[in-house]
Amino acid sequence: MSAGSGPRVVCAGDEFISAELLAAAMVAELDRFGHTADPVPIDSRWPSEPFDDIDGVREAAGDPARLAELVTGADALITHLAPVTAEVIAAGRGSLRVVGVTRGGPVNVDLAAAADAGIPVVYLPGRNLGAVAEYTVGTMICAMRGLPAAAAELSAGRWDGTGFRYERVGLELRAATVGLIGLGAVGLRVAELLAAFGTRVLAHDPYADPAAAEGVGARLVGLPELLAGSDVVSLHARLTEHTRRMIDAAALAAMRPGALLVNTARGELVDSRALDAALASGRLRGAVLDVFDPEPPSADDPLPRRPAVFATPHLAGASRQVAEESAARIAREVATVLTGGTATHLATPPNRVA
């Protein structure tokens, strides 16, 4: 690509990270390298319309046939969750030099098709770690103090002063022990925030860096010790066959009576029926649930309706900073590849196949 040329970049946005935001970031990044850009915008209506599994890719929104038309002859494609299917990859074969995805995991991309076509896929691990960590600590405080249920009572016209009874009041974070299951980017940031409150932090993660854990004041322990010793158990693990339903009836029974469970990771980490039973029995104080299995939860799922559950519709990672910074970061990664460099996070091999 010669100086002054304008690579054609398809910017497939949505109502969170818009095509306009992606295009502006792409223009700014290529300008730094002395190039103009030719952005081609297209937006889906997510989240007003839900994402879905489409033609072999997950959590995607948009029309793959229309996207295939646009990527034909394009140099790059950047997106949040457009369906980058085998059809789209085939349409871009021979011209598409990079696909950029503003997500921690490019599940909306057919990585096998991209690798076969020699098209590198770049993505953004930890892109929303600040937002998720703040949500985790904020909702932890609210749930420990019983604030969601109290607010709902007042909204319904009932003044419940019994929240001041000793048996109902909760702990302050400075007096609590919080157990983090998973000490990746988000878990480490949660631990950093908790340190400011004086919280005792336990962590369980077979792959954690002991030095990193020590640096944020977290003590690495086995899962049984974490469950038994924590006032709050917060999930930050990746979903694998090993971690699926790891919080089952036995794990919930091992938790400290009156503890709180927080899940901002994946709904499949928790056995929802077992959790409902633990809440119904009064063994757990409550739960903060931002993720469900399935999503959205079924109409007859009792968990979102429980007063002891602070339930939100997968919003932990939603902030203006996530949208703006993700657009800027993915534009930087894509511009690096377009100008002959190697991106930081590659889901597929970096070198194209002729």
What residues are annotated to the active site?
Answer: 266, 295, 314
Cβ neighbors of 354 (< 8 A, separation 6 or more) are 118
Residues facing residue 98 across a β-bridge: 76
> Rounded to 10 degrees, what is the CA torsion of 338, 344, 348, 349?
70
DSSP code of residue 285: S
Q: How far is CA 195 from CA 4, 189, 288, in A?
A: 49, 10, 21
| Structure-block tokens of residue 3 | 């100086």
- Burial (CB < 10 A; 0-12, 13-18, 19+), residue 45, is exposed
Residues 33, 48 contacting (CB under 8 angstroms): no
Cα three-residue angle 207-245-132, rounded to 5 degrees: 60
Q: What is the DSSP string of 257-275?
A: TT-EEEE-S-GGGB-HHHH
Burial call 215-234: b when 16+ CB within 10 Å, e when fewer: ebebebbebeebbebbbbbb
> Rounded to 10 degrees, what is the CA torsion of 63, 66, 70, 75?
40
The amino acid present at 140, given as its one-letter code, is M
